[in-house]
Amino acid sequence: MTRMLFLDIDGTLVGKDQRIPQSAIRAIRAAQGNGHLVLICTGRAMPEIEPHILAPGFDGVIAVSGMYAEIHGRVLFDRFIDPAVITRVSARYDKLGIDYLWQSSRGMWATRHYMDKVRVEERFPEGSPERSRWHSLEVAREQARRGGVTLGDLVPGSKGTFFALPELGITYEQVRDVVGDDLDVVRGSMGMFAPENGETMCKGVSKGEGLRFAAATMGMPLADTVAIADSDNDLTMIGVAGIGIAMGNGEQCAKDAADWVADAVDASGLARAFERLDVV
Give residue limits of the domains in the chain. Answer: 4-79+205-277, 83-201
Instruction: Give the span between the Cα atoms of 237 and 244, in whole angstroms.
Output: 8
The pLDDT score that the predictor gives to residue 166 is 86
pLDDT tens sequence for the chain (280 residues): 899 999 999 999 999 888 999 999 999 999 999 999 999 999 999 998 989 999 999 999 999 999 999 999 999 999 999 999 999 999 999 999 999 999 999 999 999 999 998 889 888 888 888 899 999 999 999 999 999 999 999 999 999 999 888 888 899 899 999 999 989 998 876 666 778 889 999 988 999 999 999 999 999 999 999 999 998 889 999 999 999 999 999 999 999 999 999 999 999 999 999 999 999 9
CATH of domain 4-79+205-277: 3.40.50.1000
184 close to 201: Cβ distance less than 8 angstroms: yes
Residue 21 to residues 26, 46, 92, 152, 190, Cα–Cα distance (Å): 9, 21, 40, 39, 21
Q: How many CA atoms lie within 13 A of 9 on its CB side?
A: 24
User: What is the CATH architecture of 83-201?
Assistant: 2-Layer Sandwich (3.30)
Instruction: Give the span between the Cα atoms of 17 and 230, in whole angstroms.
Output: 16
The pLDDT score that the predictor gives to residue 237 is 96
Instruction: Give the span between the Cα atoms of 157 and 245, in whole angstroms.
Output: 30
Instruction: Give the span between the Cα atoms of 55 and 50, in whole angstroms.
Output: 9
The pLDDT score that the predictor gives to residue 192 is 65
CATH topology match: 4-79+205-277 vs 83-201: no
Residue 75 to residues 69, 71, 202, 244, 266, Cα–Cα distance (Å): 6, 7, 19, 26, 32
Instruction: Give the span between the Cα atoms of 280 and 28, in whole angstroms.
Output: 8
Task: Give this prediction's pTM.
Answer: 0.89
